[in-house]
Homo-oligomer: A and B are copies of this chain.
C-alpha cells in the first residue's frame, strides 16, 4: 500500500485488503484490484502491481485463493476467488486488522468514523 502523495504508509495490510475485496466481489483479477483500490480511495492509495502480484501468488500458495484463467478481448485475465479456507481466514485477518487500526487510532488520539 502506498499513499500516492506521501509515500509508503500502513504496510502489512495489503493481503488483508485483497482478501476483503474478494470477499465482497467474489471474483476479481489483479489489474482490476489495482483500479478498484484507486477508485475507492479517490486516488489516495494505490496498490502497485509489483506488490500485488507476489501477494496474490503467496495467498494462492497458502491455499486461501483459487484461480481460473480467461481470455477477454484477446487479453488473458487470471481471476481469483476465495477458497473455503480463504473465507474463514479473511474474517480473522479483517478482525485483527480492524482491532489494530483502532489501537493506532487510540494512540493518535483520533476519532475516525466510517460505516
Which residues on A are within 8 Å of B, measured CB to CB? 1, 3, 5-13, 16-17, 20-21, 24-25, 36-37, 40-41, 44-45, 92, 94, 96-112, 114-115
Contact = CB atoms under 8 A, between A and B. Distances in A.
A115 B100 CA distance: 16
B96 A3 contact: yes
A65 B96 CA distance: 32
A24 B104 contact: no
Contacts of A44: 99-100, 103
Given A10-B104, A44-B103, A105-B112, 20 more contacts: A1-B104, A3-B100, A6-B99, A10-B100, A10-B101, A11-B12, A17-B104, A17-B107, A24-B109, A24-B111, A40-B106, A41-B106, A45-B107, A97-B108, A101-B105, A102-B112, A105-B114, A105-B115, A106-B114, A109-B115
